[in-house]
Amino acid sequence: MKYHALDTPALLVERERLEANIRNMAELTRCHGKMLRPHAKTHKTPEIARMQLAAGAVGLTVAKLGEAEVFAEAGCKDLFIANQIVGEQKLERLVGLARNCTVRVGVDSLEVAMPLSEAAKRAGVSIGVRLEVDTGLHRAGVRTKDEAMEVADALARLPNLELDGIFTYEGHLYQANSDRERASAVARMAEELADLRDSLIRQGIPISIISVGSTPGARFTAPVPGLDELRCGVYVFNDRMQVARGAPPESCALTVLATVISVRPDGRVIVDAGTKALAGDKPFADQTMGEILEDPSLRFVAASEEHGHLQAEGSARLRVGDKVRIVPNHACTCVNLHERMYVVKGEEVEDVWEIRARGKFL
Ligand SMILES: Cc1ncc(COP(=O)(O)O)c(C=O)c1O
């Protein structure tokens, strides 16, 4: 079947680009002696996780317990939930997961660590923990070295927890305006984390792994000695946000296929893909919602839930019923909206993959 024949909106992934992205990140990390633990929240799809593991990934990162459960069931048994797990229901599920696979979670306070330790003890399991360090994003994570030392010390003592490392998410790199700014932010982060590891080791707390994340940071973090593991996610597909930060446009593997449903005399073209098919991220100064592969001169100027508004310069060349492919601004939020992705090579649909971890926000 040709992808043009699909009903729309439909999520397409170009197999060759996907494979190249997986291969390139695996090579980048391997050649610098780093471990790669890709963030699977981007694709949420077991078939892609297996491709990443086959290319050398040591395991997967996920954001949610529900994602971890899907990947564990699909046979991916080495998981890092890079998030704080709070609340009785979740702790119950976490210990269940820990019985079947190697699972680690993020921790940044004793309030999170103590119930975790108690739940693990009650269930007779051991749970890996990594201390989350804030290196500039100002989300979760310990903010000062003193706080880090205190929480790490407690983590090392609490029963049924295995402290295996420290981690940070350098999401603040998304705000950097140049490679120079990215490189210096990475250098500062690496120095801070190395200093923390040295201090913890001097205190008798062994830290075997320093784990960092982020796709825009990978070119800069991979060569830095002392950083052990990278958790990039978006690189599998790339998107407009990554292209704006140096990814080649031809590495964008993901598009939303949409149908033209109305053409207005003023050059306005309406397609059947709005925020329900693309998500609402507008990270650009020009506020456009995506890029139209068939005609990049069309500007995706607005989106409501079901409608995408494209503006042509002059009169539009598209007609009602035509199909266009739209590169999304942000791959992760876009994928989360779809039940399946169509795997295409050229015009041919070769496979259909269920996005099994979509919507798993619990
Ligand atoms: C904790 C954590 N690690 C890794 C990543 C992956 O980074 P990126 O989305 O830049 O690939 C994310 C993304 O949000 C994250 O939150």
For atom 8 of ligand 1, which residue has the closest CA? 214
What's the pLDDT score for residue 313?
Answer: 87
Per-residue pLDDT reduced to its tens digit, 5-48:
999 999 999 999 999 999 999 999 999 999 999 999 999 999 99
Task: List domains and CATH numbers for the chain.
Answer: 3-9+246-354 (2.40.37.20), 32-236 (3.20.20.10)
Region 211-229: mean pLDDT is 97
CA of 217 to the centre of ligand 1 (A): 10
148-185 burial, b at 16+ Cβ within 10 Å, e below that, comes to bbebbebbbebebbebbbbbbbbbbbbebeeeeebbeb
- Ligand 1: which atom is nearest the Cα of residue 82? 1
What's the pLDDT score for residue 280?
Answer: 86
CA of 157 to the centre of ligand 1 (A): 29
- Ranges 76-85, 121-130, 182-191, 284-293: which has the least confidence: 284-293
The DSSP call for residue 141 is S
Query: Is 143's pLDDT higher than 90?
Result: yes
Per-residue pLDDT reduced to its tens digit, 225-273:
999 999 999 999 999 999 999 999 999 999 999 999 999 999 999 999 9
For atom 11 of ligand 1, which residue has the closest CA? 233
Query: Can you tell me the distance from the alpha carbon of 294 to that of 281, in angstroms, rounded to the nearest whole number?
Result: 22
**What is the helix (H) or strand (E) element at residue 107, kind and residue range?**
strand 102-107
Query: Is 127's pLDDT higher than 80?
Result: yes
CA of 209 to the centre of ligand 1 (A): 17
Query: Can you tell me the distance from the alpha carbon of 133 to that of 1, in angstroms, rounded to the nearest whole number?
Result: 48
- Ligand 1: which atom is nearest the Cα of residue 232? 11
For atom 2 of ligand 1, which residue has the closest CA? 169
Per-residue pLDDT reduced to its tens digit, 322-334:
999 999 999 999 9
Query: Is 284's pLDDT higher than 80?
Result: no
Instruction: Name every protein residue with a CB atom under 6 angstroms from any ligand 1 atom.
Output: 39, 61, 82, 169, 171, 213-215, 231-234
Contacts of 56 (CB under 8 A, 6+ apart): 26, 29, 30, 36
Per-residue pLDDT reduced to its tens digit, 157-170:
999 999 989 999 99
What's the pLDDT score for residue 121?
Answer: 98
Per-residue pLDDT reduced to its tens digit, 85-121:
999 999 999 999 999 999 999 999 999 999 999 999 9
pLDDT-derived band at 285, boundaries 50, 70, 90: confident
